[in-house]
Structure 1
Amino acid sequence: MRRPLSPARRPATRQPSTRRPSARRPLSSAVLAVSAVCAAALAATGCGNSTAQTRTSAPAVKKARAAQATTGTDVGAVPVPNGVTALRRAPLPGMPPLLDQNDLYAADRPNALSPVVRDFPSRVYVPNTESNSVTVIDPKTYKVIRTIPVGEQPQHVVPSWDLKTLWVNNDLGNTLTPIDPATGKVGRTVDVHDPYNLYFTPDGKYAVVMASMDRELVFRDAHTMKTVKTVPVDCYGVNHADFSPDGRYFIVSCEFSGDLLKVDTAKMEVVAQQKLPRDGAMPQDVKISPDGKTWYIADMATDGVWVMNGDTFSRPTLLPTGKGAHGLYVSRDSKSMYITNRGEGSISVLDFATGQLTTKWHIDGGGSPDMGGVSADGKVLWLSGRYDSEVYALDTRTGRTLAKIPVGNGPHGLAVYPQPGRYSLGHTGVFR
């Protein structure tokens, strides 16, 4: 998220009304169609009440059922409590099969590095939005070893699907800067408009640019970054996402309007949309549970995480965590999730098995923990200090603050690299 919690600490970043005000477009009938996750009953009732309305289309449901029948997948309806039905589908073609059907993060075990990255030096890459640079930290010594000039307002450092490149998202610079994590060499910048954040489809075909101010999801070739399809969205501030276990859909948060979008990966279409049931909500990071049944959406304005069923796109419920809930990170054993509470300098720890919070860690001397990642061995949680020009290293066993490292101004979506996993879905490192 690019805006601070209080005007007194506001960095010189964009506001949603200051750029391309004419970009607002109505959604087409195709965009308003619901995915196969909602059955025909939705056409009459919707997915929720008036404060969390999901748009739907009966023809789209019929088309989805027909498509499933022709591919030989199971078209049996699975009933859910609110009367909505969900359809089971085969995985997205080309997506690597899950190692464990009950654990999406089974490939992310401690030091289980892919042969692609096994010889890469271990580094922490920190984009400084207000310094237009990337700070490189040696995690063994907690020392800054390099500062790389990049484009204007770098927001996130994103590992590519094939793990071979780190992409720096220069949001206001309208470029991506590639870094070779094997050598540290900086490549030629690539022109990409409004790249606030970046994800990759599970089959590795497309990059998905979260064009926040343009109000678009832009599907691009994952290697050349050439535009394949531009999808206008009826919300403000698309920023974070995560993918379903089968890769068939992903859920996107819209921070400035408090919306959630559900997007069909293969069709590259928004198929459902709802507002969070709280005025002023500002959803941030999105993460799915290891068993693929529960979705979590951090919300910095409601000071907690929203919990929902992604298949049915159910009405979310709020789990309070702390002031300014922002980033979500899964432990190496898939048992816990670390939730950064940026407004109070703390990290809440959630137990996936119970869905309950187990403890809360506080950064020594205070801070503003934002985005980050877990070390390859799972022992250290690395986080940017958004408003304090520093990076934090915390012991994941005790929550103890191991280091506070000075960096540039406005550190944001830092990437710990390399990390375990077979491929990257983007952001600061979502691996499967």
Structure 2
Amino acid sequence: MHPTTSLTQRTTALLVGALLVLLAGCGSGGEQNEARGTEQAAPPVKPRKATAAPAGLPGMPPVQDPQDIYAADRPGMLSPVVKNFPSRVYVPNTNSNTVSVIDPATYKVIDTIPVGVQPQHVVPSWDLKTLWVNNNRGHTLTPIDPATGKAGEPVDVHDPYNLYFTPNGKYAVVMASLDRELVFRDPHTMETRHTEPVSCYGVNHADFSADGRYFIVSCEFSAELLKVDTEKMKVVGRQRLPFEGAMPQDVKLSPDGKTFYIADMIAHGVWVLDGEKFTEPALIPTGKGAHGLYISRDSKEMYIPNRGEGSISVFDFARNKLTKKWWLPDGGSPDMGGVSADGKVLWLSGRYDAEVYAVDTKTGKQLARIPVGSGPHGLAVYPQPGRYSLGHTGVFR
């Protein structure tokens, strides 16, 4: 959410005939770090009748494994485009108007890049060649070359709170939060191709269906969700969350492509949504200030940082329940981030503490706590495995 906005303001083609089948894999083990309130079962998701899947979004790379949309995200599966990029963690400091660059091998800040006003997220481009810094109140995008770590000339884009890319790479989609718009742009020049006004407040985060034909958007200021037709670039569904004052944040699709999860920092949990039916979702309580959603490299678990209490909940897809809860030893405000290329480290910004956390994904142990600028937000771990990027801090498929 915007650090300067009060809470009151912030109320490929798919294989034709393929079937979406059972959840991939089994729950992995791993020690619990002061587990509190774990084993929280998710509401059961009623299976839909097996029917032939519709053709995917035209131009989208074919899904490698219909059972696991993240099959291209395994350790070591770096695209030829990124395999020679140095491994770095790029941290946008919203209040400092800078990006801190961390060497993950040493846990040290090795560079500080001046950018525009109020950088919110660092977003990998669809073709993996560029990192875009979203300077929300500066109304610009700053490109960073991940091969050199150097920033280029800013591009004028109004109200770029967050940035996504359609699965076929045809459009960049700017989440213009305060403008109340979804702006479809050329993914390279960022010239506007279509503007879709929305009636909700605070369009924020999103994720795409397995076939790429629609995406689910969270509206944090008005407690709403949108369903958007990707090809038509039109809102086709809208609903209000059944929780007073809800503030939905990150959105993530399950590995089997059947379920959307939406973190909610006021409902203190994760909503479970059938995206196809777009019926009322159910809530899994996780912890105070649930904010981000990150999939493990084996697609078995999802990490959920609870910003308001300094913890990370772990959801097991096969068991359909929360199984672990890790607590940062000295507290903190774990927010947005990503998983290292080898899957061993979860990197999260400390939104209110001017720091970044590195957490062992097997044990939940804090590996490092790194001072950065003020208001660190949507950091990007780069490079990561995957064939293309859907945006945000790195959603790869």
Q: What is the match of residue 248 of structure 2?
A: 283
Q: What is the match of residue 421 of structure 1?
A: 386
Q: Distance in 2 between matches of 1:221 and 1:250?
A: 18
Kindly indicate whether residue 357 of structure 2 is the aligned counterpart of residue 392 of structure 1.
yes
Kindly indicate whether residue 230 of structure 2 is the aligned counterpart of residue 240 of structure 1.
no
Q: Which 5+ residue runs of structure 1 have no aligned equivalent?
A: 4-12, 20-72, 75-79
Q: Secondary structure at the match of 1:325?
A: coil
Q: What is the match of residue 174 of structure 2?
A: 209
Counterpart mapping for 1:14-413 below 5 A: 14=5, 88-413=53-378
Q: Secondary structure at the match of 1:308?
A: strand
Q: Partner amino acid for 1:357?
A: L
Q: What is the match of residue 7 of structure 1?
A: none
How far did residue 82 of structure 1 move?
Answer: 12
How far did residue 308 of structure 1 move?
Answer: 1.2
How far did residue 14 of structure 1 move?
Answer: 3.9
CA contact (8 A) 1:242 1:288 kept: yes
Q: Secondary structure at the match of 2:151?
A: coil
Q: Partner amino acid for 1:2?
A: H
- Seen in structure 2, the aligned counterparts of structure 1 residues 229 and 87 have a Cα distance that, compared at 3 Å, is farther
Q: What is the match of residue 2 of structure 2?
A: 2
How far did residue 186 of structure 1 move?
Answer: 1.0
CA contact (8 A) 1:337 1:349 kept: yes
Q: Secondary structure at the match of 1:326?
A: coil
1:214-239 per-residue CA deviation (whole Å, 9 max, x = no partner) reads 00000000111000000000100000
Q: Percent identity?
A: 75
Q: What is the match of residue 32 of structure 1?
A: none
- Seen in structure 2, the aligned counterparts of structure 1 residues 350 and 16 have a Cα distance that, compared at 3 Å, is closer
Q: Partner amino acid for 1:412?
A: H
Q: Partner amino acid for 1:129?
A: T
CA contact (8 A) 1:85 1:312 kept: no
Q: Distance in 2 between matches of 1:254 and 1:18?
A: 12
Q: Secondary structure at the match of 2:72?
A: helix
Q: Partner amino acid for 2:241?
A: L
How far did residue 355 of structure 1 move?
Answer: 1.5
Q: Distance in 1 between matches of 2:121 and 2:49?
A: 37
Q: Distance in 1 between matches of 2:139 and 2:183?
A: 13
Q: Partner amino acid for 1:235?
A: C
Q: Secondary structure at the match of 2:238?
A: strand
CA contact (8 A) 2:9 2:221 kept: no
**Structure in which a larger fraction of residues adopt helix:** 1
How far did residue 2 of structure 1 move?
Answer: 1.8
Q: Partner amino acid for 2:105?
A: K
- Seen in structure 2, the aligned counterparts of structure 1 residues 81 and 364 have a Cα distance that, compared at 3 Å, is closer
Q: Distance in 1 between matches of 2:369 and 2:383?
A: 21
Q: Distance in 2 between matches of 1:231 and 1:149?
A: 31
CA contact (8 A) 1:165 1:179 kept: yes
Q: Partner amino acid for 2:365?
A: R
Q: Secondary structure at the match of 1:327?
A: coil
CA contact (8 A) 2:84 2:147 kept: yes
- Seen in structure 2, the aligned counterparts of structure 1 residues 284 and 188 have a Cα distance that, compared at 3 Å, is same
How far did residue 111 of structure 1 move?
Answer: 1.8
Q: Secondary structure at the match of 2:123?
A: strand
How far did residue 184 of structure 1 move?
Answer: 1.2
1:239-295 per-residue CA deviation (whole Å, 9 max, x = no partner) reads 000000000000000000000000000000000000001110000000010001111
Q: Distance in 1 between matches of 2:9 and 2:154?
A: 25
How far did residue 18 of structure 1 move?
Answer: 8.4
Please give the root-mean-square deviation of Cα atoms over the aligned residues, in Å: 2.0
- Seen in structure 2, the aligned counterparts of structure 1 residues 407 and 140 have a Cα distance that, compared at 3 Å, is same
Q: Distance in 2 between matches of 1:366 and 1:18?
A: 27
Q: Distance in 2 between matches of 1:83 and 1:148?
A: 49
Q: Secondary structure at the match of 1:377?
A: coil
CA contact (8 A) 1:288 1:295 kept: yes
How far did residue 378 of structure 1 move?
Answer: 0.2
1:182-206 per-residue CA deviation (whole Å, 9 max, x = no partner) reads 0112111000000000000000010
Larger Rg: 1
Q: Which 5+ residue runs of structure 2 have no aligned equivalent?
A: 11-15, 18-44
Structure 1 length as normaliser, TM-score? 0.82
Q: Secondary structure at the match of 1:285?
A: strand
Q: Partner amino acid for 1:388?
A: D
Q: What is the match of residue 28 of structure 1?
A: none
Q: Distance in 2 between matches of 1:95 and 1:236?
A: 30
How far did residue 348 of structure 1 move?
Answer: 0.2
Q: Which structure ranks higher in relative contact order (CA pairs < 8 Å, sequence separation ≥ 6)? A: 2
Q: Distance in 2 between matches of 1:287 and 1:430?
A: 9
Q: Distance in 2 between matches of 1:161 and 1:315?
A: 31
Q: Distance in 1 between matches of 2:47 and 2:153?
A: 51
Q: Distance in 2 between matches of 1:84 and 1:396?
A: 35
Q: What is the match of residue 26 of structure 2?
A: none
Q: Distance in 1 between matches of 2:190 and 2:310?
A: 37
Q: Partner amino acid for 2:370?
A: I
Q: Secondary structure at the match of 1:158?
A: strand
